[in-house]
Amino acid sequence: MGKSTFDTKALLAKMTLEEKVGQLIQLNAGFIGKSVAEITGPLQSFGFDNTMLPYVGSTLNFHGVEEMKAIQDKHMAEDRLHIPLVFMMDIIHGYRTIYPIPLARGASFDPDLVTECSKMAAKEGSAGGVQVTFTPMVDYVRDARWGRVMETCGEDPYLNGVMGAAQVRAFQGDDISDPDHMAACVKHFAAYGGAEAGRDYNTVEISERLLREYYFPAYKACIDAGVTMLMPSFNSLNGVPSIANEWLLQDVLKKEWKFDGVVISDYNAIGELKRHGITGDAKEAARMAFENGCDIDMMSVGYGNHLAELVREGTISEEKIDEAVLKVLELKKALGLFEDPYHGASEEKEKALCLCEEHREIARRAAEESAVLLKNNGILPLPKNVKKLALIGPFADNQEIRGSWGCNGKTEDCTSMYMGIRNLLPDAEITVCRGCSNYFDEIGEEEFEEAARIASEADAVILCLGEPQKYSGEGNSRADITLPGVQDALARKVIAANANTAVVLFNGRPLVLKELDAIAPAILDMWFPGTEGGNAAARLLFGDANPSGKVTMSFPKATGQCPIYYNHPSTGRPKRYPEDQHQPYASSYIGCGNLALYPFGHGLSYSNFVYESMELDRTSMTKGEKIAVTIRVRNDSDRAGKEVVQLYMHDLYASTVRPIQSLIGFKKVEIGAGETATVTFEVTEPMLRFYDAKCNFVSEAGEFTLSTGYADNLLFTQSFFLNE
């Protein structure tokens, strides 16, 4: 479309105070898409001043291009200055063609794949009327009890930042006025994933040093990638809710990081300042949020009912209102809305793009690349000529595998396990048995017996287990992250009846699988894989695709290990005995040890990758120099595969306690059968920096190690020194 020449400052000069304030208000489409008569009751119940309704500047929660156009047409006809609305929506893992949840996409360790998925979603979403997406969500996480871990890329700040920045660039492109792109909004600033006890919306108490070391980097990576908008988090951070946190929004975000984009509240976050106990007054809540830098108030009454009043009484200057409004108008200009209020959306384009074969193929490939083969004693891949196949478990023929935030995706669009295997093996004899529920309820022994009988008569069994979609995502924290219900008991029955059983998991978080790991010959984690999940799982199980995903959030042996994460600091009394022994007077657990069942970086393949060597071209460096690290990996098998080569660093001695290792580089490489790949990383002094006790970002001279492998299985380690 090209850059707009529309004069936003001239428009601003024509606006009344109420019209200006309106640009800073976002309401649900159900309010602004109807007549005042239709929504007077709901607005009164909501407490919103309906005289402000004609001036509202943006909306969310609409459904498709037809509704979007109707709302925009009505608004443009009634707005005195014909200022278009901007339409926003959560496109977390796809618009209509749904690809795997973000935690799964992180497991792909493939920024190019994430880029491809995000571009696909941008095309579909833009065609469907979305102009801004509330993506990426880059909250750093350590506690699998928190339901929204499914929206992140896991427990590593570097990986989270790489994947977040890739999404920003893919959604926004070079020009957000391009109808194939849209503006992105990074969320939730800050440390939303640090919720105490893994309970959503809960308080967060974290030192500034840990914030800067672990929680801030991914947000900053997205800002450096040019993200257009930012959303503060619901939680209080060190006693102050993020939406009213002067240090967070003013000192760090605007002054230190120089972010000058649009800041938008989360849903009713300004109104929730009253529930936090910060203020009992909606007017004061509006003042606090606005003065601390929140430009748009999403779904609360604060700005609509009180912002103009605050200006007229002199509490807030109109000049400050103008600054915020101009940012919103500039966003609309950058989107090209003054020339095309629809941003290129059309019913024909939406229909042509959504669920098209090209997009389904991308979604299938993403599901294959994101799946993690947690365990395999050799039974996978299954032979395609298997005569009698038993498909057992609550996900055996279950299409509810989109995951939370499926946007416009529909359950009926998804391929179940049965559908995927039937598509791949149309002539196979397949017997399906649900066996039990995947919810926390009990089931009769007769269903177990039927499942065991079917398993015993089959040549191979695929046991499909997991948690329901609604057990993860926003508001869905779990105190117990074992397999829900009686699925472990079902697994014992089925595997006892037929040892040739492969388990397939569908889940939105790491689960406690210690009992299952002890008895299952093979475990393939599909996460919530999206539209093409069943087809992807079938191809992986029968060898048409080769697993290559790696764990990005540690699977604990027991819920009591949470929070558990690979990049933890050592203590003065670390555990030194073997993992299956308890060590008194050391930092260790009785009964399950300290290590994860499946740690960060773990993931198997049908190929056999042998790490042959790791070499450094020098053993010391000074600032301005770099060390080249060369790792050789051989594929000692008869099939090609992809391996994620990981590079870890450990600062042995420093002025603050450092993590036992930190991921500083990764590359996903395809290696042919019998071939060897050489992977090279460059290590520079800035990669060694950390925040000291006074929160200075420094590197300190001394000894470091570099390692390759994965978190709890480092295969090669070499030392080097950073000189003064």
Q: What is the pLDDT of residues 101-113, one digit of tens each?
A: 999 999 999 999 9
Mean pLDDT in residue range 155-162: 98
Q: Is the confidence at residue 45, as pLDDT, over 80?
A: no
Q: What percent of the chain has pLDDT over 90?
A: 91
Phi-psi region of 695 (alpha: psi -120 to 50; beta: other; left: phi over 0): left
Q: Is the confidence at residue 216, as pLDDT, over 70?
A: yes
Question: Token pair 């209080």 is at which residue?
Answer: 236
pLDDT of residue 443: 61
Contacts of 229 (CB under 8 A, 6+ apart): 132, 183, 184, 185, 186, 261, 262, 263, 264, 331
Mean pLDDT in residue range 287-298: 98
CATH class for domain 609-722? mainly beta
- CB-based contact 238:204 (threshold 8 Å): yes
What is the rounded CA–CA span in Å between residue 361 and residue 97?
10
Residue 37 — very low, low, confident or very high, per pLDDT cuts 50/70/90? low
Helix, strand, coil proportions of the chain in percent (round to 5)? 35, 20, 45
Question: At 140, is the secondary structure helix, strand, or coil?
Answer: coil
The full set of domain ranges for the chain reads: 1-89+301-330, 372-561, 609-722
175 phi/psi in degrees, rounded to 5: -155, 115
174 catalytic? Reply is: no
Q: What is the pLDDT of residues 340-358, one digit of tens each?
A: 999 999 999 999 999 999 9
pLDDT of residue 77: 95
Mean pLDDT in residue range 231-236: 97
Structure tokens given for 496 = 């006892």
Q: Is the confidence at residue 304, as pLDDT, over 70?
A: yes
Q: Is the peptide bond before 184 cis (omega within 30 degrees of 0)?
A: no
pLDDT of residue 25: 98
Q: What is the pLDDT of residues 76-98, one digit of tens each?
A: 999 999 999 999 999 999 999 99
Residue 711 — very low, low, confident or very high, per pLDDT cuts 50/70/90? confident
Residue 445 — very low, low, confident or very high, per pLDDT cuts 50/70/90? low
What is the rounded CA–CA span in Å between residue 525 and residue 534?
12
Q: Exactly one of 90, 266, 413, 712 is catalytic; which is it?
A: 266
What is the rounded CA–CA span in Å between residue 702 and residue 700?
6
Q: Is the confidence at residue 286, as pLDDT, over 60?
A: yes
Residue 582 — very low, low, confident or very high, per pLDDT cuts 50/70/90? confident
Mean pLDDT in residue range 552-575: 95
pLDDT of residue 407: 82
DSSP bridge partners of 678: 632
Q: Do domains 372-561 and 609-722 have the same CATH topology?
A: no
The enclosing H or E element of 37 equals: helix 36-46
The reported pTM is 0.97
CATH entry 3.40.50.1700 includes domain 372-561? yes
Residue 189 — very low, low, confident or very high, per pLDDT cuts 50/70/90? very high
pLDDT of residue 36: 55
pLDDT of residue 444: 60
pLDDT of residue 557: 96
Residue 440 — very low, low, confident or very high, per pLDDT cuts 50/70/90? confident
What is the rounded CA–CA span in Å between residue 703 and residue 684?
14
Mean pLDDT in residue range 289-300: 97
Q: What is the mean pLDDT of the chain?
A: 95
Q: What percent of the chain has pLDDT over 70?
A: 97
